[in-house]
Every structure is written in structure tokens, then in C-alpha cells.
Amino acid sequence: MANATEHATRPADMEKETMVTDDSSPQPGLKKKINEKLVKHSHDADVAMKAFEGTEGQVLELTEEKRKALLRKIDWHMMPIMCVVYGLNYLDKTTLSYASVMGLRLPPSADKLHSGINLKGDQYQWLGSMFYFGYIAWEYPTTRLLQILPLGKYSAFNIIMWGLVLSCFAAVENYAGAIAIRFFLGVFESSVTPAFALFTSQWWTKKEQGARTGIWFSFNGWAQIFGGCLAYGIAVGCRKSGTTIEPWKIVFLVTGLLTASLGFLFLWIVPDNQMNCRWLSEEDRILAIERIRSNNQGVGNKHFKMYQLKEALLDPLSWAFFFYALIADIPNGGISNFFSQLIVSFGYTPEESLLYGTPGGAVEVVFLIACGWAGDKYGYRILISMTGLLTAMLGMILIVALPLSNNTGRLAGYYLTQASPTPFVALLSLISSNVAGYTKKTTVAAMYLIGYCVGNIIGPQTFRPKDAPRYVPAEITIIVCWGVCLGILAFIHFYCVWQNKKKAQIRAAPEYVKMENQEWLDLTDKENPEFVYTL
């Protein structure tokens, strides 16, 4: 066919397509091994195979014009709700930072503007970390449930639940209640990032995934802008007009109930996969699957495969992802829970800290979208993402090196640190692009986010009360962590380059023959010679 046209047809019976080994080939064992592996998996293929059942004799044409129209329809239905929900995911877990300067830490009082739950010593640090204890406790179980249960419906359930749990924070009266709320907030939010990584690999091609991951993750930055303005408006309004409940409780109620409402909208819009998508016609559902054939990943497989779990645990790439997330999120855990107090330490009032934190969100948005776009365009997501980490390191060096009296310079340094999530997002998109086999993909996503949790648990503990107002030990720890992360990113890049060269040699061998519909057999990235790692 011409480049502008592709066909989606019903897959032939896999066993009938088994290749016969040519014993005269230089390496007859290689061909036999590949064929046996493909036939073995043909009985447990990806659910995408079902989309083509009953289409015998039909030829569905996927022209370039149709491809673009289909992509627009997918983008306009999926991206807005994913972006808003992911922004609320960040806002909901960092609402604690806003509340910390709005009276949460104060002792109970008859004055509703200055009444809190009387946090003492390092109790605030443990509130910051407790979210991630819930997250890490439920991370692997939730990734298994994402594989077994309907993806869209299970994701919507968790969104609704974490919104309701967050709103319950307004009823908290002591430290024990706050700890419980933070733990269960982590439990229900643990599904969102692996779910969104699965949605991204399910609906978009590898060349489209980096930019779209950058876009929906960038709503962390938009949430920081929105959250700062919201908290500032509530704080000022309560101070001027008075209030019947504490200002920090209003913040939790607004953000929690907004999230729960969006969860119901998510349930209506986002399907489990292309096959039960209400806003696509029957023909478009098949074409939506056909357009991601080149990913060599399919759209899902509900069967747990032990060999894929073992492969994930033995793959150096999986552990590189894990250790990057762990080390990179030590800084993230500290900054995300202490940024309001950090800005106060620069010499600004608590109310000013709510407003002055918002430009940091704009920095994050710009870097994530720009690096995501450039990574897809030029094909070097990892190397391009390093620019964000280098920018963040420069910002933290400014915070450490500048005198305490230089409020403006240190605040500018804080803004630059908000470029740090860029490589984290690039690697998250690579879990979508570079990990195949549904059990392996969910396992690697769980490993990555467990590392993320451990780092975020450690992070708040580096900001010790005795180090205030400068927190120099914590700031130096952040710089060192980011330096180590640059080395991990370099390893991931060169490892993928090496693996691509090995696969190219296998495909170039005269005895290698690609099997029809090999893309839908739920093969892992290691066992599929056609799989090419994105850089």
C-alpha cells in the first residue's frame, strides 16, 4: 500500500500461521525458537485481537486524513479530563502545604481564623510522609487491579474516593485523625499515575506519547498556580469578612468536593479501552486500535504472567527507573511539602507565600510541555529532559549560595527548581513507550512509583525544624540527589541504544521472519525482536 493508506483486517488463525523452520539456514535454532515463542503466546494474546473478530472479508481503510481526524477526536475527548484530574491529583496531596500556613498547625482556639490541630515537633513532617505510606502500601495491589478490572471504571472509582477522603480532612480535630486521612488519601491516589501511563500507551503511538504525557503531567504546575490563588483568596476573604469555619478547612472542602465531582465526569467520558468507547463508531474503534499497531504493545491483557514479572525484576532498565524515582523524589518530597514554609523563610508573610509560589507552577508547565514536544520531535526524550534537571540544580544552588537578605534572588532560585520534574515525566512516558507485555508494564510502573513513594517519604524528613530558616542540609541533599540522577539518566539512554542495536542484528539475520499480528501477542519488549526502544 501507499504510505497514506493502511488496512485493518481480521487476524488469521495463529497456529495455522506458524512458520516452518528452514534447517538449511545458518542458524535454524533461532528461527524455531522465535516461532515456538510466538505460537505459545498466540493463545493468550492481547484483547486487541477481539476487535477484529467478525470482520472477515472487510477492509477498513486508515488514510492519513482519517488518522488525523481520529487523533483529534481522541485528543479532545481524553486529554482535557486527564489533564484536569491529574492537576487535582497534585493539588489534593499538596493542599497540606497551603493549610500549614493558614492555621492548621496552631492549637485549638475560639478564633476561627487561628485555630488548628496543634501540631508539635516533627508531626507536620510525618503528615507529609504518611500520604506516601498509604501510596506505597497499595501501589502494587492497585496496579494488579488496573490490569484485572475495567481500567476506566476503576480509575474513576479511585478519583471519587480520594476526593471524598480529602474533604473529610475538614472534620479532623487532632493529629491522629489527620494521619488517618493522609494515609487513605495515598491509598486512593496510588492508582492515578500508573493508570494514566496505561491510558497513554493504549491510545497514542510512541511518537505521540512523550508530548501528551508532558501535557497531562504539566497540570501539576497549573494546579500549583490555581491552588496558590485559591488558598490566597480564601485566606484574604476569611481575614476580611470572618468565617464560621477555619480557612484551612475550607481549602480541603473545596478541593475535595471538586475532585469527587470530576470523578463522576471521568467515569462518563473515559472508556476502559477502544472497544467500549461510546464516542467512537464501531469502525473507528477498530481503526483506533490499528493506529497503535506500531507500538508492539496492544491495549491490555487481564492474565497475570509470572515470566513477565520475573523479567521485570531482572531487567536493568526496571531498576534504573526505580532508583531514579527514589533518588529524584527525595527533593520532591521535601519541596512539595515545605515550599510555602520555604518561601516564608525568604522573608515573606504566610499570605504572600501562597501567592508567590504560583509562578513556580508556570516554570514547571513551560519545561514539561517544551521538553515533551522536543523529545517527540527530535527523538531524544531523556537527553532533552536533562535540561530541566540542570535548571533545577542551578535554582537550588542560588538558594544555598545567596544571603538570607536576598529575598528576590532566592525566590527566583525556588522558581527554577520547579523544572525538576521534567526527567521524571520523560521516564514515565518511557514506561508507556519502552515496556511491553501488560504484566511487565504494570510491574515496572509499580516499581517506579514505589521508588517515588520511598523518596517522598524520605524527603520531608530532610527539612528539620532545627535547620530553619535556611534548611541548608536539606538543600545540599537535594543538589547531590539531582547530580546522581543525571548519571542514571545517562545510563538509561545508552542502555536503550545498546538494546536497539542488538534487536537490529536479530531482525537483519536471514533466518528471521516476522509473524503476522505479532504486535497483539502480549510479548514483552525483551522477547519481541520488532520492539524498538524510544530514546
* Per-residue pLDDT tens digits for 248-276: 889 899 999 999 999 999 999 999 988 88
For residue 458, how far is the Cα from the chain centroid? 20
* Per-residue pLDDT tens digits for 85-95: 999 998 887 78
Instruction: Assess whether pLDDT exceeds 80 at residue 354.
Output: no
Give the N- to C-terminal CA distance of the chain in Å, as an integer.
29
Rounded mean pLDDT of the chain? 83
Least confident of 16-25, 388-397, 470-479: 16-25
Predicted TM-score (pTM) above 0.75 = yes
Least confident of 13-17, 64-68, 396-400, 411-415: 13-17
| Cis peptide, bond prior to residue 469, ω within 30 of zero | yes
For the beta carbon of residue 316, count every other beta carbon within 10 angstroms: 11
Q: What proportion of the chain, given as a percentage, has pLDDT over 90?
A: 37
What are the sequence ranges of the domains in the chain?
Answer: 63-507
Q: Rounded distance, CA 517 to CA 110, Å? A: 70
Contact 520, 49 (CB under 8 A): yes
Least confident of 47-51, 371-375, 398-402: 47-51
Mean pLDDT throughout 392-405?
A: 89
Instruction: Assess whether pLDDT exceeds 50 at residue 16.
Output: no
* Per-residue pLDDT tens digits for 418-437: 999 999 999 988 988 898 88
Q: Which helix (H) or strand (E) holds 472?
A: helix 472-508
Contact 457, 133 (CB under 8 A): yes
> The cell 501540631 sits on which residue?
119
Least confident of 82-86, 131-135, 235-239, 409-413: 235-239
Least confident of 16-20, 48-52, 145-149, 285-289: 16-20
Contact 445, 431 (CB under 8 A): yes
3 state DSSP class of 8: strand
> The cell 511518537 sits on which residue?
207
| Residue 21 confidence (pLDDT) | 33
Q: Rounded distance, CA 432 to CA 193, Å? A: 11
Q: Which of 401, 390, 394 minimizes the C-alpha distance to 470?
A: 401
Mean pLDDT throughout 497-514?
A: 87
Q: 63-507: CATH homologous superfamily? A: MFS general substrate transporter like domains (1.20.1250.20)
- Of residues 107 and 188, the one with the higher pLDDT is 188
pLDDT-derived band of residue 207, with 50, 70 and 90 as boundaries?
A: confident
